[in-house]
Chains A and B, each alone.
Chain A
Amino acid sequence: MTPSSPDCTDTPPSSAVVEARHLVKRYGDVDVLRDVSLSVAEGTVTTIIGASGSGKSTLLRCMNLLERPQQGQLTIADESMRFTAQGPRSGHTDMPLSRHQLQRLRAKVAMVFQQFNLWPHMTVLGNVSEPPVRVKGVSRRKANALAMHYLERVGMAERADAYPAFLSGGQQQRVAIARALAMEPQILLFDEPTSALDPERVNEVLGVIRGLADEGRTMLMVTHEMAFARDVSDQIVFLDRGVVGAAGSPERIFEQSDNERCRRFIAPAA
């Protein structure tokens, strides 16, 4: 299996960091994603919205192959692949990529999780410098400098020596964002970054994300913060039971969507 198939005629324009086509993902016989296509241009923010269980997290997790789609094509951070229903396992992974390509892809696609997922046995500094050291082979000294730079960026530099257990949720999530930034990725993935936070902690995290959007970073985000999504996004994708119900600019989606279910989903927030 080669990563880029010759019959992939509709190659994405070079400005697209993500180009997903006809992705299908099922668990057993539950179709979670049914034919999802999506494209994210470089330097733009795309937000995925939709009801609980509509497949938002699954779609996001397909982007760095934490989940493996059964069908479709994906180009992300200059890596292209085509998925087919699970054939015989090839080599070490059941992915249409070698272990090396998979690692290279993941190094360029950094994810921020709802539950932060910091490593509790490492300090804040350790958490942020560990991935560059382990995955990119950066020296510990350089990685620490890099980590301090991005901790500064999220306002957590003074807590560099603390362990995650001593931080508030908002602080932990800011560290997790610094961890993602320290990989200097081409694209940032956020899966409901504020859903696990106390209400009074939400804004400090949203503020950091907004700053990143203003810097022109490419981001793909899942959130239930509708006002925020409308504010920072260049594109909104409404996911509905595993298909894209509507996609377009925030104005279009929030004000004049022709998708009935999308309008109803938006209504309470508008």
Chain B
Amino acid sequence: MDFSWLSDPFYQEYLVEGLINTLWLLLVSAVAGLILAVAMAMARIKGPRPLAWLATGVTAVIRGTPLLVQLFFFYYGVGRLLEGIPGIQDSIFWGLLRDPFFYATLTFTLSVGAYSGEILRGALLNVPPGEREAGRAYGFHPWQVFVHLWLPRAVQLCLPTLTGEMILLLKSIPLVSTIAMMDLLQAANIIRDETFLTYEPLLLIAAIYLLLTLILTLVLQQLERHFPGVQPQRRRFRWWAQARHG
């Protein structure tokens, strides 16, 4: 085992940049993706028919095709197509449209939107309608019923599944190294190419990922535990039950 390259400031910089990009990508696509998920779920439940069809179609395509193919499609396909539009290279968006980070965010946001949207849709439909009706009967505006009664209840019902999706998202991020984005895997690839060491850089980023996953799991577990109205029995035995049933 040779980890002497770790002291090289250039490699340190790659790794730090890769880590920051990984975390940024996770955060931005998780937030944007969950917002999209709520919109997609509502479009399918209550939206006007064309919008519902659109959301159903997008969900089917995103869930039915590999993430890597989607990433290539947006970066090499859409990205190259945009390049051909006359004048676009002078526009203020060009910096964004040239950046692989943009396409990675787009892909992951759509992915979270489709998968989590499907989960949320089921949860929204599982909230007993009487709870919404009580809100209506007391004079809540339909928007208040959604924001204060319906959505929080749906999230309560599917929270463990949603947090699981976030962990899967974290672990899909190395795919972006294939579109030349500097994430942790890309940093490891560069180190490997320059030092001819195959395992050590990979081991390092595997360890970093393991640590990130652990931290994310703990944070999300706290969120689940403190979500209002979650039953204490479930709280107390959750960890133990998970350990047993894997």
List A residues at the B interface (Cβ < 8 Å).
Answer: 64, 66, 99, 102-107, 110-111, 113, 115, 117-123, 126, 130-131, 134-135, 163-165, 179, 183
Compute how far the CA of A134 lies from the CA of B139 in the bound complex, rounded to whole angstroms: 9
A84 to B225 alpha-carbon distance, docked (Å) = 51
| Chain B contacts for A110, CB-based, 8 A | 137-138
Partner of A183, one of B138, B144, B152: B138
A119 touching B153, Cβ below 8 Å: yes
Among candidates B130, B138, B152, residue contacting A107 with C-beta atoms closer than 8 Å: B138
Instruction: Tell yes or no: B136 within 8 A of A by CB.
Output: yes
- Top 3 nearest A-B pairs (CB, nearest first) are A106-B139, A117-B134, A121-B229
Which of B128, B130, B140, B149 is in CB contact (< 8 Å) with A135?
Answer: B140
A105 partner residues in chain B, CB cutoff 8 A: 139
Closest residue of chain B to A132 (Cβ to Cβ) is B138
Question: Are B228 and A131 closer than 8 Å at their CB atoms?
Answer: no
Which residues of the other chain, B, contact A130 by a CB distance below 8 angstroms?
148
B244 to chain A, nearest CB (A): 24
A120 and B131 contacting across the interface, CB-CB below 8 Å: yes
Residue of B nearest to A183 (CB): B138
B138 touches A131 (CB 8 A): yes
- The answer to whether B156 has its CB under 8 Å from any CB of chain A is yes
- From A66, A104, A164, A179, contact of B133 by CB (8 A): A66
Interface residues of B in 104-138 (CB under 8 A from A): 128, 130-131, 133-138
Beyond A115-B130, A117-B131, is A135–B229 a contact (Cβ under 8 Å)? Answer: no
Q: Is the CB of A163 within 8 A of B229?
A: yes
Q: Enumerate chain A residues within 8 angstroms of B156, measured Cβ to Cβ.
A: 120-121
Binding site secondary structure of chain B = helix
- Closest Cβ–Cβ distance, residue A69 to chain B (whole Å): 16
State which of B128, B136, B144, B149 has its C-beta within 8 Å of the C-beta of A66: B136
Known contacts: A66-B133, A134-B144. The answer to whether A121 contacts B152 by CB under 8 A is yes
Of listed A99, A104, A121, residue having the most chain B CB within 10 A: A121
A105 to chain B, nearest CB (A): 8
Q: Which of A113, A119, A123 is most buried by chain B, counting CB atoms within 10 A of its CB?
A: A119
Instruction: Collect the chain B residues with CB atoms within 8 Å of residue A165's CB.
Output: 229, 231
Nearest A-chain residue to B140, judged by Cβ? A134
Q: Hey, what's the 0/1 contact readout for B206-231 against A, CB within 8 Å counting as 1?
A: 00000000000000000000011101
Known contacts A111-B137, A113-B130, then 11 further A-B pairs from the complex at CB < 8 Å, ordered by chain A residue: A64-B137, A107-B139, A110-B138, A113-B137, A119-B134, A119-B149, A122-B229, A134-B144, A163-B229, A164-B229, A179-B138
Q: Report which of B138, B141, B153 forms a contact with A120, defined as CB distance below 8 A.
A: B153
Contacts of B228 in A (CB 8 A): 121-123, 126, 163
Are A131 and B133 within 8 A (Cβ)?
no
Q: CA separation between A134 and B135, bound complex, in Å?
A: 10
Question: Which residues from chain B contact A113 at a C-beta distance below 8 Å?
Answer: 130, 133-134, 137
CB pair B137–A66 under 8 Å, yes or no, is yes
Given contacts A121-B152, A121-B229, contact A135 B133 (CB under 8 A): no
| Cα distance, A130 to B152, chains bound together (Å) | 14
Among residues of B, the one whose C-beta sits closest to the C-beta of A135 is B139
CA distance A110 to B137 in the complex (A): 7
Interface-central residue, A102, A107, A117, by most chain B CB under 10 Å: A117
User: How far, in Å, is B232 (CB) from chain A's closest CB?
Assistant: 8
- Contact of A106 with B153 at beta-carbon distance under 8 Å, contacts A113-B130, A117-B133, A119-B131 already known: no
Assembled-state Cα–Cα distance A106/B130 (Å): 16
Cα A165 to Cα B233 with chains together (Å): 12
